[in-house]
Structure 1
Amino acid sequence: MKTIQAYKRAPALENSTWYKGLLISQLAGNSDTDGAFDLVESKMKKGTEPPPHIHDREAELFYILAGEIKVFADGQVFTVVAGESVFLPKKIPHAYLIQSEECHVLALMTPGGFLNAINKINAPARTMEIPSDMETYATVDLTSTMAVFIKYGVRMMSPDEIAEQLPAYAIAH
């Protein structure tokens, strides 16, 4: 068993990946925190958002460093801008749409482990910029992605579920 140790880490090529059009820097993962949480810094652009989904295991907290997102969860719509955060409890259907051209976010997921799913289907970052030549959720067949996610307790919502549980998203999207 690995002994958990104190460390210092910043976004760098060594801990960053490209995933579905996002630049994700892993600041803390499951093995770093003994499963307590994952912490990532993500840089995203409009159009790279994941489809509406539900986490059975993790709660998420997003802190916006730059840009603006609109979050749909639990019958509410939150506009979240730089300097603000939004909390998404586990088992609550949610989605977000990036409102600015780019968005820079710190995401805390607890307990840890969801990054393990992302790390099964990402690619090493070649630069510390948002990838421009990569498929996104909107442009790729999600069958294999959904198969990995379901093993980690994350399920994409069906169009009927979205219309029923996230009607404001269905209208905005």
Structure 2
Amino acid sequence: MTIDAQGLIQPPGQGTSYWFDRDLYTFKAVGEDTGEAYALCEVVVAPQGGGTPPHKHSRENESFYIQEGELEFQLDEQIIVATPGTFLHSPKGQLHRFTNTSSTPAKLLVWVTPAGFEKFIAEVGKATNTQVSPAPSLSAADLEKILITAPKYGIEIIPPPAA
């Protein structure tokens, strides 16, 4: 990434990437680049169940722009099927999640304001230098680390209802 008097330039295919479960998060801008105003990442969501669990952010607003594929979003009690060109905004404190229920990957841009969420992904994700390798499996220890670390970043992960 290049930062100069003209601004920030991030060429296609570039950025700092992390596997978060089966999804690939590539940060195009982080808080250090934006005076902590925002972070922007491109997320490639794995087919057949990739995405996030229901969760809330107490510090950041989160916005989503669907570039490719189809994602099922939950914003509080509302369920939306989002296709390319759809924009969604989830203010801090709102329960939300997204899931890829299709058989092909989906791609979206995620903005968080203010920045900070990228530090959570960096701490619990698995850094990668390539965007073509298969996602590493999520172990029980990985899941425990995510659940333990989330509150440090003001994130509440909502467990599934008891059966």
TM-score, length of structure 2 as denominator length: 0.85
SS at match of 1:72: strand
Specify every segment of 5 or more residues in structure 1 that has no aligned partner in the other structure, as ranges. Answer: 164-169
**Would you tell me which structure has more strand in proportion to its own residues?**
2
SS at match of 1:108: strand
SS at match of 2:32: coil
Note the alpha carbon deviations across 1:59-94, whole angstroms, 9 max, x for none: 111101100111111221111101111111110111
Instruction: State the AA in 1 paired with 2:137.
Output: E
Q: 1:14 to 1:107 in 2, by over 3 A?
A: closer
Aligned partners of 2:160, 2:70: CA distance in 1, in Å? 25
Aligned CA-pair RMSD: 2.3
CA shift, 1:35, in A, is 1.0
Question: Corresponding residue for 2:114?
Answer: 111
CA shift, 1:133, in A, is 4.2
CA shift, 1:13, in A, is 5.6
Aligned partners of 1:106, 1:98: CA distance in 2, in Å? 15
Runs of 4+ in 1 over 4 A off after TM superposition: none
In the alignment, is residue 85 of structure 1 matched against residue 91 of structure 2? no
Specify every segment of 5 or more residues in structure 2 that has no aligned partner in the other structure, as ranges. Answer: none
Question: Corresponding residue for 1:40?
Answer: 41
Higher deviation after alignment, 51-60 or 15-24: 15-24
SS at match of 1:146: helix
SS at match of 1:77: strand
Aligned partners of 2:87, 2:55: CA distance in 1, in Å? 19
Q: 1:124 to 1:52 in 2, by over 3 A?
A: same
Aligned partners of 2:15, 2:8: CA distance in 1, in Å? 15
In the alignment, is residue 123 of structure 1 matched against residue 126 of structure 2? yes
CA shift, 1:18, in A, is 2.2
SS at match of 1:86: strand
Superposition pairs for residues 112-151 of structure 1, below 5 Å?
112-129=115-132, 131-136=133-138, 140-141=140-141, 142-151=143-152
